[in-house]
Structure 1
Amino acid sequence: MEALRVWRASSNLLGFAASRAAAAAAASAGRAHRFHIRCCSPAAAATTKPPQDRRRRSASSSSTSDRDSIRAIRLKKVEELRGKGYEPYAYKWDRTHTTKELQERYTHLENGEVCTEASVSIAGRIVARRAFGKLVFMTIRDDSGTIQLYCEKDSLTEEQFEQLKAFIDVGDILGASGSIKKTEKGELSVYVSFFEILTKSLLPLPDKYHGLTDVDKRYRQRYIDMIANPEVADVFRTRAKVLNTVVHRNIFSLGKQR
């Protein structure tokens, strides 16, 4: 009888323990299920982190909008220039030197020295521009290198200086003439007495510091790649010279055979 009582008690304990274990397992599964739903719900994911393609579309549309607004502003400048009697797409410009020739010929000048007897004329694309009241500094690049343009209000007419400040942008192609000056900081410059807009750029150049790094864009828009990365133009120029030499040799050898 005593043994029967002990067996019943142990059975009750085992049943109670089993029911508690089952309840705990069910509660744990419920918590895991709720946690799974809370973290992986599409609505929650959408509110915490936007999809990658949506972010890309947003950035692309913003960039396109900025470019359109810049283009509209520059087109307005073109119209204003023509209204004042200036053609922003000139037919010609007489260049006397390249930037590399000037850098080599006048490297001997002392800091702050002006070579007034020199009369030079260059042309190239503006790749940098800084304005300080009555002074405007611009860096111009041609097919050989770069040089600074030193534009002072006293050396230009009032109309030209206002045109310089209001209508000249980075990316424009400019013709400039004047004397040679080396600034107090040792920067060889063309001391501009006259300039003319040769080509008005309607869109900005790639970012100065980051440049053009998109490989697909570099291949599809090679002209931008050659502007932003001058070394690319050097590669093409070298290949063209090699190809030209090979063609001339082949023509010469064919002539001799005949």
Structure 2
Amino acid sequence: MSNDRPRIADWNEQIEVRFEKLKKMRDQGLNPFRNGFTPTHTSADIHRQHGEIPKEKLEAEEHRVSLAGRVMAIRDFGKGGFVRIQDRKGVIQVFLSKDVLGDKYGVYKDWTDLGDIVFVEGKVFRTRTNELTVQASRFEFLTKALRPLPEKFHGIADVELRYRNRSIDLVMNEEVRKTFLARTKIISSIRKFFDERDFLECDTPMLHAIAGGAAARPFKTHHN
């Protein structure tokens, strides 16, 4: 799914547009940075719990869920639109309809950009292409993104950009997220193994007269 909304080529202009939206939201009494929402599901939960349920049964039973995540793609048409929301566990498609959301549809239509973090509540159904989707009956802003995401197939291919901005790299690259998650779990397991055997953990600079870091080579300057 691609972003169907008009593209603004200049990076600085995109940022200005987002700040202008932020100001207008506040002028209208909308809080673009909210908290206090507790999702009932992650995207992985929805796929795991509802992925095997036939389309007709989903519609009959009306399984309701809520989740929060980052808007990664937007596709508008008429009085509705699809967005893809990415949370810490994966991606899920959300359908937003003016007939269902009423006045709240304007919050989505007027203010939503790629990178925004939103809260969605609704029922699970399958589209005509059989994709598992959440039909939103509630749509709330959690964080208005003030900087645009890089172009999916161009900007993120810039290795220097990825290494300078690891947060962007984590947002845009699933494999990088998996690597960071695996690294965290490995370090946690190693730490638990040694902790259970009464080993003492200490930072490597404690073992050197000159602190140089774990992988750095110590050196002297004219100050020391």
Q: TM-score range, shorter-chain basis?
A: 0.7 to 0.9
| Distance in 1 separating the partners of 2:171 and 2:70 | 9
Aligned partner (choices 102, 109, 129) of residue 74 of structure 2: 129
Question: In structure 2, what is the equivalent of residue 83 of structure 1?
Answer: 27
1:115 and 1:180 in contact (8 A); partners too: no
Misfit runs of 4+, over 3 Å: 109-113
Pairs within 5 Å for 1:204-215: 204-210=148-154, 212-215=156-159
Superposition deviation, residue 204 in structure 1: 1.6
Alignment of 1:150 onto 2:95 = yes
Larger Rg: 1
Aligned partner (choices 194, 197, 213) of residue 250 of structure 1: 194
Superposition deviation, residue 110 in structure 1: 3.5
Helix, strand or coil: the match of 1:85? Answer: coil
| Distance in 1 separating the partners of 2:38 and 2:126 | 23
Superposition deviation, residue 116 in structure 1: 5.0
Query: Which residue identity is paired with 2:90?
Result: G
Give the share of equivalent positions with the same residue, in percent: 35
The normalised TM-score by structure 1 is 0.70
Pairs within 5 Å for 1:1-258: 66-111=10-55, 114=59, 116-157=61-102, 159-210=103-154, 212-254=156-198
Select between 120-129 and 205-214 the one with higher mean Cα deviation. Answer: 205-214
**1:128-148, CA deviations, whole angstroms, 9 ceiling, x for partnerless residues?**
001101111000011111110
**1:134-177, CA deviations, whole angstroms, 9 ceiling, x for partnerless residues?**
111000011111110011111112x2111211100111111100
Superposition deviation, residue 117 in structure 1: 3.2
| Distance in 1 separating the partners of 2:60 and 2:178 | 31
Any gaps of 5 or more consecutive residues in structure 2? 1-8, 200-224
Which structure has greater helix proportion? 1
Question: In structure 2, what is the equivalent of residue 59 of structure 1?
Answer: none
Helix, strand or coil: the match of 1:209? Answer: coil
Select between 192-201 and 209-218 the one with higher mean Cα deviation. Answer: 209-218
Any gaps of 5 or more consecutive residues in structure 1? 1-64
Helix, strand or coil: the match of 1:76? Answer: helix
Superposition deviation, residue 249 in structure 1: 1.6
Superposition deviation, residue 211 in structure 1: 5.2
Superposition deviation, residue 114 in structure 1: 2.4
| Distance in 2 separating the partners of 1:249 and 1:111 | 46
**1:200-222, CA deviations, whole angstroms, 9 ceiling, x for partnerless residues?**
11122111233511112211110
1:111 and 1:184 in contact (8 A); partners too: no
Query: Which residue identity is paired with 2:71?
Result: I
